[in-house]
Homo-oligomer: A and B are copies of this chain.
């Protein structure tokens, strides 16, 4: 197993845990990038010293402005560079003179524009390395770091703090993923838009995240890699420690052509990448939304020890759909063991299905549902559980209660409020029970809400979360991928 160059790890800490940050090219114009960056740093509650740099201003957003990085009194760990392309070489020289060890170059107009831009970029990166500086970018949307209270992106995204870190070879797509994470309750540790990778590249950052104690899951949006052999080494090293989930874009000739015109990166053929990913234990996501869905599961659920799935549902049709999905993704639905059937016969209403899926046919009392779930989770026959239809019932109940209040004397608005709130409370109790069962049995249990929208991480406590998917296919895919990684880990440990 390779380990990362210790010096580089230490150096990269300047990016992700800087004590002081200079925004070179800070602007008073709230509609410009130089302002966005500063606003996002402030809104993200950066705790260190923040220095706007602009030769023409004296104060921006209440902060004292410096004419040059060299004028800043204390040390500067990280420079965010957003000046026009012609001014970037001067800014880099100033940073070298000041002894700044790390810079994120947001400015575009380098190798992505052609041969001339590439020449400029190469020269600049070489100069920075000679001067002891490492660079992320140029042409990047920036970086985030929860450990560093760092919100250094052009886009206004502020995901909750968590343990999932992402490397993205597309800034636009990557920051959109961060917006999804924020919306879906997925906690993010670090985000890096790698831009043109003039200096630090995807492999450097993957090595860094592999050894980062704050990162438990690594996401990677990848269009192309220069050194395939090195990538596979880095990926395998990382996968041995924590799950690495990759969306490989440019899988097809057409996609590759689009990728080439986008970042200039070269992609490999689909077969080569898939074989390589399998060997290295990397989990493949099929789409950007899948990347986030899988991250929700890997960050918050234990790995299953096998592929025997128990399903419990409030509606038969959803059970059938889920059974099909499981079969098509290589998961098994074993029959219920006799002792479990006997046990459930004593506790469940007589019309229960006596099979897997356990179909409770719209039972109103959630206690029965929890009983069935507990039976499945505690049985040795099952490695993971899917529950269908409880979460989201509150929407239907609320609607019925409102209609009742509108048309009947039996219910008034106050009672409708009570009924709705009561159902919402019961859903929270149910998710708390799910959480307890996950912690007790060590098995992943996922719920499907059937109420539309996106996958969501629900917070039970600071350290305990459960995952709710909007559709059966997303829940099944999550369990299939958790199982795939579980097998890789146990094979790798045996080897």
Q: Which residues in A have some Cβ–Cβ distance to B below 8 Å?
A: 28-31, 35-36, 39-40, 42-43, 61, 113, 155-156, 168-174, 176, 179-180, 183-184, 221, 223, 247, 249-255, 257-259, 261-263, 286-289, 314-328, 332-333, 351, 353-355, 357, 359, 362, 389, 395-396, 399-400, 403-404, 406-408, 410-411, 450-454, 470-473
Contact = CB atoms under 8 A, between A and B. Distances in A.
A410 B317 contact: no
B254 A289 contact: no
B42 A407 contact: yes
A316 B141 CA distance: 13
Copies in the complex: 2
Given A254-B324, A258-B333, A262-B353, 13 more contacts: A29-B410, A35-B408, A39-B403, A43-B403, A113-B351, A170-B317, A170-B320, A171-B315, A250-B320, A259-B320, A288-B321, A288-B471, A289-B473
Contacts of A255: 320-321, 323-324, 327
A332 B257 CA distance: 13
B471 A317 contact: no
Contact of A257 (B40, B355, B472): B355
Given A170-B315, A261-B359, A252 B156 contact: no
A407 B61 CA distance: 7
23 contacts: A29-B410, A30-B404, A43-B403, A156-B396, A156-B403, A170-B315, A172-B389, A173-B317, A179-B395, A251-B328, A252-B324, A252-B327, A254-B332, A254-B333, A255-B324, A261-B354, A261-B355, A287-B473, A288-B318, A288-B471, A288-B472, A289-B470, A453-B453
B450 A176 contact: yes
Contacts of A451: 179
Nearest to A398: B156
Contacts of A36: 400
A100 to B, nearest CB: 25
A410 B359 contact: no
Contact of A180 (B31, B252, B399, B452): B452
Nearest to A42: B407
A316 B39 contact: no
A126 to B, nearest CB: 26
A30 B406 CA distance: 11
Contact of A287 (B221, B396, B472): B472
